[in-house]
Amino acid sequence: MDHIRWLLGRTATAALTLFGASVLIFAAVRAMPGSYTDLVLGPLASRAEKAEAAARFGLDRPVVEQYGYWLRNAVQGDFGTSLAARTPVAAEFGDRLPVTVTLTLLALLLTVAVGVPLGVYTGTRDGGGRGGVPGRLVSAFGMSLPEFVLGSLVVFLFTRYSLGLTVGTYVPWSQDPLGSVGSLILPACVLAVFCVAATARTTRDAVLGVLVEPHIAAAVARGEPKGFIVRHHVLRNAAVPVLTLVATLSAYLLGGTVIVERLFNVPGLGSYLVDGLDRRDYAVIQAGVLLAATVFITTNLLVDLVSGLIDPRIGTVGKEARG
């Protein structure tokens, strides 16, 4: 019962956080320089034309009423119409979201497949001593290299020397599934470098923290093999901080697509949002930021739920502290 109460509390907190994020997003977009009517009609429009446009778009209503109208439509999947393209934002999202999701999942797969084993190896190799130096160097290098620098370098090398993978050509999934994944390999690798480094470092620190716990010493004293200890004792106890980081990185990857998609000419949400920012397309900006906030909050909620399953003590820590 205590665990269920904790889960309900976390869900309610996530819902309130998402509501607060929607308020901030709406207020921030409304505070941007320039007016919506100026963008629609241009600077030479008369006051009467601007007033008519404001009434048509509902901008003459109270701000609270405007927010309520926008939030109600957003919940129903209606994010308005793009000023530049004159098309529904939801339709553009429907076309571009699968591309960005595929790119993000590829990068996340690389992050887990490379970062976690590297961190475990570094943490268990001589207790993280000199045997783990190569892994620490890889982590430091990956975390200090900006995406736009690495991406620009990759684009230059693969364009200049024809290294086997095409750059700047996206293949739709409906046309060729394998070709579509292949066209996203390079941007996914660029996107994953920082995340691999961060995951390896966090995994290493978590492993080192678990290795000094008494139950690990007891397992060693019982003569259990090192591989068995790592798989059955160390990884389980080190999973929560790594899982939390991976969840945070998933939101980071979604934001990183803004740069990578532009560099590699990938027709995803990232490039669409950049165009929206350049044109001050309010509907696109609001929808994009709201989507990012929703993904971040939902992912962290799922991590809390999974962490509670991995370590049931998490849900009772607050109750014990109050007791």
Is 14's pLDDT higher than 90?
no
pLDDT of 47: 79
Short-list 163, 111, 118, CA closest to 136:
118
Q: What pLDDT digit, counting tens, does each position of 75-109 carry?
A: 888 888 887 677 889 998 888 988 998 999 999 99
pLDDT tier, 1 (very low <50, low <70, confident <90, very high otherwise): low
Q: What pLDDT digit, counting tens, does each position of 121-174 carry?
A: 888 875 555 556 666 777 788 888 888 888 889 888 888 877 777 787 888 888
Every domain of the chain and the residues it spans: 2-75, 89-312
Q: What pLDDT digit, counting tens, does each position of 275-322 carry?
A: 888 777 888 888 888 888 888 888 878 877 777 666 666 555 444 444
For 89-312, give the CATH class: mainly alpha
Q: What pLDDT digit, counting tens, does each position of 214-229 carry?
A: 888 888 888 888 888 8
Q: Model's pTM, two decimal places?
A: 0.78
pLDDT of 125: 77
